[in-house]
Structure 1
């Protein structure tokens, strides 16, 4: 099977919203004898690891090819990481960079995500190149004792002394301490991970697109056009009468002058009348459509992991298209939410496809990031 290695089942990272289904599927495979060497259904939870991001978030990142090593298989709908760091760590690093974080902080964020998802497996993946240089085989296993046994006392001492403060230790003591450090529960217990898409989308949306002002502008425009038309007709009639009464003005000229004057007067009066009537509206169609637009934008911004500046770019672009006519079309549509989705996604994707390409850290850079995080954990666990 694809999830088997010479050392046994490898850990498979799945989207957070597909975790339960993936556990069930793996249990069924174990039950049917499709996972060689595994008979305990409980092992499904050791094989399947819950990622930090949803399928939609990972897919939207992968589709645009803006993160090195994250690939989208459109035929099978699969998101594949070509890096040993895993999908959550890679996306976390990229989003941190897009959010304006510096390189070191982005690595720390990625390391926290990788440890939370992969635990010991993430550590061995990051350390694999270092262990290979030492002539050792880094088996991808979940047992900390097994890892330490493969590493041996020398490599264990190198590892544990790099991740601890105080006097160096060696031999059996180093192996014991390294095993303790590498235990998944010891690692993950000391690691916290904050979801990066914490932009206040609603406030940005409301701060730049006012439903009250848009509705008022729509109503005033309609009222002014209507009032102006009525004023033109009334003014033209009066002007024509004036032209008949005063021969040197003439009927045609009188109608033109009267029409212009009537249009300006009628439009002005109608606009003022509209202003006074606006206070009578409690909830109108415009407010309902904008509420749906706001609600969908919040979800889409999360699905695309938009940064604060990206949200602002989308809203500024959206303002030009979000007119009274657009909202009327939305209200007349059979599916208001789908209409909002189509409108918003077009603006969002126009922004995200311009994201800078993020290249993942080298093995050496990631090891330094891992060391920094584990030093904090090692001080409290060793």
Structure 2
């Protein structure tokens, strides 16, 4: 599931890189209006990514729409004409022109003036009132579109959250299904399996949403530009246009888009690679946040932190690679490829690091066993009493947390002894009194 999440976020990153351009707010407006229309239950699709000349940016229902988000309503309309002729038509009829909601009245007035001058006679439009049917009021304002295109704004984060919820919901559904199946295969009760699956799904949903938002926000910063020379070198100099086209068209075919070649293919693959780099970095940071918190609180050592983050990073990289390779297989290839890549990457890294760095858990467990043995050696416990205390102290689910608390203690031996005392007292109190 991790690999599939990275893969999808990388593609979204590549799609939205255009938001960084000089007309990035126009792209942001297309995307934002599209999301809002979909949320309102309208049948809407994005069409502008194919860059066809004078083609529609969006289709909503049966309406072909060209989005124009300019500084004034008059400029929105001026961009719709070339050499005195209206540029955007479909089957002999003018497309809808979508303008900022705060520029709507001015845009209508500007088009009415054009119609009165006869600028749309070739399309059979002579009535100025027709302008109200051609101009479509956008869902957002010009200012909002510009703020979406910038990093760190509330509008931009809300936009990224809107696209991320869809992505994270898919990750939630798949992770719940896989987790539930695994629990049932282990023989757990349905109630427990469902509870564990929902908990796992919730964590995946949160991590996917945070990763998606952070990745998209980084894509609007100088980081995107700084990575471009490296990824351009890989696609243009190392792979070449033919290999790049073959790889990138695998992605496009899955999303139903037309194949591209030449410079268009190398540029698109370069964007996807940058998306992979940023997404992997963000995912590693999100997944490592718990380890970092443990280190700050003193529950794990610096060596353990390094080892944990290195293992997470290798798992993330393996998952991303596996998902990309698996994307050639319809539907399940990305998911399975990501799972296998993540497991192999993480295991390979851990095996290599195990030979260099001993886990905190290994050394702490030895301390726990030593103090435990000394504490009970004089009690002459029977089997039932021994099992009672071991069930609590060496509980499989709680043991990792217990070891972290021991690590954080200033006096680990004293901490373990204090931890054992209540259970030892309970055993002693339960023994029958000997009356002389």
Larger Rg: 1
Return the TM-score normalized by structure 1: 0.27
TM-score for the superposition, normalised by structure 2: 0.24
Higher relative contact order structure (alpha carbons within 8 Å, sequence separation ≥ 6): 1
